Structure 1
Amino acid sequence: MPTGRLSVVVTRRLPEAVETRMKELFDVRLREDDTPMARAELTEAVENADILVPTITDEIDANLLARAGNQLKLIANYGSGIDHIDVASARQRGILVSNTPGVSADDTADMTMALMLAVKRRIPEGLERMKEGAWTGWAPTALLGQRVHGKRLGILGMGRIGQAVAQRARAFGMQIHYHNRRRLREEIEAQYEATYWESLDQMAARMDVISINCPHTPSTFHLMNARRLKLLKKDAVLINTSRGEVIDENALVRRLEAGDIGGAGLDVFEHGHEVNPKLRSLPNVVLSPHMASATQEGRLEMGEKVIINIKTFDDGHRPPDLVVPSML
């Protein structure tokens, strides 16, 4: 029997409170297990749902959208990144796309600092010694790392997350530098005492730490390529909590193996969960499983934004977090 409510398909398990609220508001089909949908399941979803709620693990490309039924009117993405969605193709078919911006800025910035400290202070090596029972006591030259105070931090992408990283890094006494598609207003630069570099090459060659905080777009694919990685100082550290595709991962491995880069802290990888095995074996590399935004508070806020976007659309208004191709 038709319920008169929107038909919503959710592609992954979401926090229980979010799923409960969705069941109250919509005719929702939830994911029973926490695995990505197969292509056939995604196809069936776009053929029949009014609203699709995907995540970064779902490839919503032009071929999939070509199978969408006329009733599909909104893709309400659970997450801020939308590089897995062909937004232009969606709009051509009259399908709106929304996301959840701003929710994870603080969480991601926290993880950026955590990875930076973990690499610079060799924290995983210390933890491993403790777990193995190999620590025999304090020694003047054991596990010597580097302080972050006074070091130059180059932020690649000075949006919400980049600015949140700058705020935290300043509290650690770091000097803030940044490269961005557009220069920030003077008052924002003054707030962080930030120095703008029009040339990424020049900035990269002078920084002690580089933090990747830009989205993945065609123009940022392999932005940190082999040539640019060669510009980094020998003791520089590269941190990435954005998208793995921004770095040429094979080139990074070669530089790390040769000792030409001080270290790396990576939360994202060029080929998703397929991590280059060589990265796992390098002592100056800290890896985390794409968990920069993984806080209870953040995941609930993301769900709330998804629900607001769907409800606003259902009420006949523009979703507050509508994504348009010109934003990309």
Structure 2
Amino acid sequence: MTYKPKVYLTSNVFSATEIGSNNAISKSLRKNIKELWFKLNQISELKVFDGRFPTEDEIQKEVEEYNPDILGCHLSHSITSEVLEKSTLFAVSTSTAGYNHIHRLGTDDILITHTPGVLHETVADYTIAIIMTNLRNLIDLHTYVWNGQWIPDDKWDLDQSLSSVITNKVLGIVGMGEIGKELVKRLYHWDISILYYDIHQMIDFEKNYPSIKFKENIEDVFIESDIVSLHVPLNKHTENLVNRKLLKLMKRNSLLVNTSRGPVLDLNTLLDMLENNEIHINLAFDVFPIEPIDEKTLERFKKIKKQNPEIRMTLIPHNASADANIRGKMTILFLEDILR
């Protein structure tokens, strides 16, 4: 009898009846997902968590009792070292580009697969969207209308909420990987200047975009830019990369954008500096060190906003890759990884 590997998925979102039946995803991608799902059921002993967000204890219990060979997970599912140590797993597959939610052991005994190379375009688009949303103060303006404040008895004064266009701004990109390059491709012909910092100068890329300027020192990007956009992976070299020293260099009223990973920014230090009026910058974040954002941290943001209402804050719950077809493509890569 042929051995069937045991597979445990920590969410039912990957199934043919969930993402495989979501009409927001193209028909061809849905068909592919359903075919892969059928094949996975045929060649494995498949067990799927009945829901989207199992607790760490629930994941550990299933791994210990079911003894899967392969574990499939999502960004919101923390795969702790305790889970890995007590398991018989030989592979963990995640439907994400990053895999910092998988707490790797000190060995390479367990294979980890992820789904890179498909979300750079949608994240670049999303980054531009939150930059423009912040510059033009769209969140506050939407809230003004939504809360019923735009009324005949309170005449709207265009000059009471002045915002800023991106024209003539200096954009500084920290990390010229796939997403950073897509950002350049989209913004290159806008009337802005683009600087970038990376551990390597992208000489071949610069041939197609000759006006972008490489900065050997990250400090220069923070000093010169009106908008600093972070696009680095999270690792031991980039954790808390954006610290007090760099934040102190930013121009007054400049914009800090993070659509990479929360821990690349020392958030507590940032909040301290804003609370103490050491810096005066605007914020557009899609990621945070702890997700979801904890109540205490959110209250600190609100207090800063109340004390300095002119500071623009655009805070989004880690959603940059949530384009329907991109999520479909990532599911396909995820299922293909498990089937290998």
TM-score band, normalised by the shorter chain? Answer: 0.7 to 0.9
Mapped to 1, the partners of 2:146 and 2:85 lie a distance apart of 53
**Amino acid of the structure 2 residue aligned with 1:287:** L
Could you list the structure 1 runs, at least 4 aligned residues long, displaced by more than 4 angstroms after superposition: none
C-alpha deviations, 1:184-232, integer Å up to 9, x for none? 1x23023333211111112111110011111111111111111211111
Aligned partner of 1:79 in structure 2 is 96
Shift, 1:236, TM fit = 1.0
**Are the equivalent residues in 2 in contact too, given 1:79–1:99 (CA < 8 A)?**
yes
Aligned partner of 1:177 in structure 2 is 195
Mapped to 1, the partners of 2:329 and 2:274 lie a distance apart of 37
User: RMSD of aligned C-alpha atoms?
Assistant: 2.3
Does the residue aligned with 2:219 lie in a helix, a strand or coil?
Answer: helix
Are 2:173 and 1:151 aligned?
Answer: no
Are 2:102 and 1:102 aligned?
Answer: no
TM-score by length of 1: 0.85
Does the residue aligned with 2:172 lie in a helix, a strand or coil?
Answer: strand
Aligned partner of 2:316 in structure 1 is 288
**Are the equivalent residues in 1 in contact too, given 2:7–2:72 (CA < 8 A)?**
yes
**Amino acid of the structure 2 residue aligned with 1:279:** F
CA gap of 1:42–1:108, structure 2 versus 1, over 3 A, is: farther
Are 2:128 and 1:113 aligned?
Answer: yes
Shift, 1:37, TM fit = 3.3
Which consecutive residues of structure 1, in runs of 5 or more, have no partner in the other structure?
A: 314-328
Aligned partner of 1:56 in structure 2 is 75
Shift, 1:44, TM fit = 3.4
Are 2:285 and 1:263 aligned?
Answer: no
Mapped to 2, the partners of 1:147 and 1:308 lie a distance apart of 44
**Are the equivalent residues in 2 in contact too, given 1:43–1:67 (CA < 8 A)?**
no
Mapped to 2, the partners of 1:30 and 1:3 lie a distance apart of 22
**Amino acid of the structure 1 residue aligned with 2:173:** I
Shift, 1:262, TM fit = 2.8
Aligned partner of 2:10 in structure 1 is 11
Shift, 1:57, TM fit = 2.5
**Amino acid of the structure 1 residue aligned with 2:146:** K
**Amino acid of the structure 2 residue aligned with 1:274:** I
**Are the equivalent residues in 1 in contact too, given 2:56–2:79 (CA < 8 A)?**
no
Aligned partner of 2:220 in structure 1 is 202
**Amino acid of the structure 1 residue aligned with 2:77:** D
Alignment of 1:124-273 (within 5 A): 124-135=139-150, 136=154, 139-184=157-202, 186-192=203-209, 193-257=211-275, 258=277, 260-273=279-292
Q: Percent identity?
A: 27
Aligned partner of 2:28 in structure 1 is none
**Amino acid of the structure 2 residue aligned with 1:288:** I
Mapped to 2, the partners of 1:86 and 1:274 lie a distance apart of 20
CA gap of 1:65–1:24, structure 2 versus 1, over 3 A, is: same
Mapped to 2, the partners of 1:252 and 1:78 lie a distance apart of 31
TM-score by length of 2: 0.82
Shift, 1:35, TM fit = 1.3
CA gap of 1:292–1:309, structure 2 versus 1, over 3 A, is: same
Count of aligned pairs = 306
C-alpha deviations, 1:131-170, integer Å up to 9, x for none? 1232355534131111112211111111111111222222
**Amino acid of the structure 2 residue aligned with 1:254:** D
Shift, 1:127, TM fit = 0.6
C-alpha deviations, 1:305-327, integer Å up to 9, x for none? 0122222x2xxxxxxxxxxxxxx
Are 2:300 and 1:278 aligned?
Answer: yes
**Amino acid of the structure 2 residue aligned with 1:289:** P
CA gap of 1:36–1:211, structure 2 versus 1, over 3 A, is: farther
Which consecutive residues of structure 2, in runs of 5 or more, have no partner in the other structure?
A: 21-32
Does the residue aligned with 1:230 lie in a helix, a strand or coil?
Answer: helix
